[in-house]
């Protein structure tokens, strides 16, 4: 039977027409089970889950339970008389009697008394120079929670101080506590200082009397003060680019200071080579043709002057003397005469005392031939 009511059964014997009777009352089972959820405890910063208890509900072998939520979080017990909620929201319990298919429902709200802290935003400044202890770690914003807030940096006690100064670069554990006692642990980082560096490049070699360039490459660009030592042989001791022409091999040091007071330095050696680059022609012809008519010595810029210049014949007699004179000036040289008389072609010897720009005087000698 699919409908409740009184049902009667009649049995007839076809041989004799006798009948027997029976009846049965069929009742309808539409009574739903009981679904009752007790009010749960609220969540707070310490208690992060709530018990969903449906103990007053119907029980039995033919009773099933199913918890659901749209805006909360079920941590367990979805098909039990008790479940665990892990977030605020509405939770629904469906209790079903599998014997008659009837279902009853009840719902309950889990509330949160405090808003948890979700994060921290920092405002940081690195130390002014590498190795310095003047970095800053400041709490800019606390995400979530309920103010006012207290802070504890690197294991210190809680206080309202939100700016931490005089710090070297590094990582610092931070704890934040709000007005409801909610706590949040994170880490703040004071970055490394950019610092200051200066480079002069490789050592250089120059000839005495010549010059080269030293360039101070500063990183990051820009400086507050710059100075060199020693200053001898430099073109501008207050500039990063120097034209150098020392008389002696010199180790130059440059120092740079930036606006933060950071100081960096670099060194480079300028090695000075002094070669005997004094040239005396092997032949001259004082014949009045305007070419090679006088005999003198030639030299580079490392020679300051020829202090003594003498020419002798093959018997050792001095036939010419001059000095001090400048090199490379033929008008100051020997014209091939002695006491106003032209000398015959022959081989002669010259002797010179040459002064270099570093103050050293060296003797230079050699042979020459007079031709007509």
Convert the pLDDT of each residue in 323-367 to its tens digit. 999 999 999 999 999 999 999 999 999 999 999 887 888 899 999
Does 1 have pLDDT greater than 60? no
Residues 6+ apart with CB under 8 A from 189: 122, 124, 170, 171, 172
CA distance 335 to 342: 9
CB distance 209 to 301 below 8 Å:
yes
Q: Answer yes or no: CATH 2.60.40.10 is held by domain 197-273.
A: yes
Q: What is the mean pLDDT of the chain?
A: 93
Q: Is 338 exposed, middle or buried (0-12, 13-18, 19+ CB in 10 A)?
A: middle
> How is the chain split into domains, by residue range?
1-110, 117-190, 197-273, 278-370
Q: Answer yes or no: CATH 2.60.40 is held by domain 117-190.
A: yes
Does 61 have pLDDT greater than 60? yes
- 278-370: CATH architecture: Sandwich (2.60)
Does 201 have pLDDT greater than 70? yes
User: How many other C-beta atoms can be found within 10 angstroms of the C-beta atom of residue 181?
Assistant: 11
CB distance 53 to 36 below 8 Å:
no
Number of H helices, E strands in the chain: 0, 31
Question: Is beta strand 278-279 parallel, antiparallel or unpaired with respect to 263-273?
Answer: unpaired
Predicted confidence at residue 14, as pLDDT, reads 86
Residues 6+ apart with CB under 8 A from 278: 297, 298, 299, 303, 327, 352, 354, 364
Q: What class, spelled out in words, does domain 1-110 have in CATH?
A: mainly beta
Predicted confidence at residue 276, as pLDDT, reads 63
């Amino acid at each position: 039977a699919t409908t409740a009511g009184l049902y009667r059964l009649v049995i007839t014997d076809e041989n004799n027409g006798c009948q027997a009777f029976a009846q049965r009352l069929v009742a309808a089972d539409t009574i739903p089970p009981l679904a009752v959820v007790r009010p749960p405890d609220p969540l707070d910063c310490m208690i992060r889950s709530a018990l969903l208890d449906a103990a007053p509900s119907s029980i039995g072998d033919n009773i099933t339970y199913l918890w659901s939520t749209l805006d909360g979080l079920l941590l367990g017990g979805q098909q039990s008389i008790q479940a665990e909620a892990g977030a605020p929201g509405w939770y629904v319990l469906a209790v079903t009697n599998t014997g008659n298919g009837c279902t009853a429902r009840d719902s309950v709200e889990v509330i949160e008394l405090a808003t948890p802290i979700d994060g921290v935003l920092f405002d940081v400044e690195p130390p002014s120079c590498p190795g310095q202890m003047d970095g800053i770690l400041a709490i800019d914003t606390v995400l979530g929670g309920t103010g006012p807030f207290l802070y504890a940096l690197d294991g210190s006690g809680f206080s309202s101080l939100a700016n931490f100064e005089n710090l070297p670069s590094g990582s610092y554990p931070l704890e934040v506590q709000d007005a409801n006692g909610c706590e949040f642990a994170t880490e703040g980082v004071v970055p490394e200082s950019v610092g200051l560096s200066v480079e002069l490049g490789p050592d250089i070699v120059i000839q005495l009397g010549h010059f080269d360039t030293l360039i101070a490459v500063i990183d990051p660009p820009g400086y507050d003060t710059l100075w060199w030592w020693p200053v001898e042989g430099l073109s501008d001791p207050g500039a990063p680019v120097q034209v150098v022409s020392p008389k002696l091999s010199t180790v130059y040091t440059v120092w740079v200071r930036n606006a933060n007071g950071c100081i960096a330095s670099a060194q480079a050696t300028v090695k000075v080579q002094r070669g005997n680059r004094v040239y005396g022609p092997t032949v001259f012809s004082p014949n009045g043709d305007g070419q090679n008519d006088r005999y003198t010595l030639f030299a580079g810029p490392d020679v300051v002057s020829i202090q003594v210049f003498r020419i002798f014949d093959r018997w050792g007699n001095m036939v010419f003397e001059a000095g001090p004179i400048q090199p490379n000036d033929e008008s100051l040289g020997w014209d091939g005469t002695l006491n106003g008389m032209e000398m015959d072609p022959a081989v002669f010897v010259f002797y010179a005392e040459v002064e270099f720009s570093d103050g050293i005087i060296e003797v230079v000698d050699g042979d020459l031939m007079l031709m007509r």
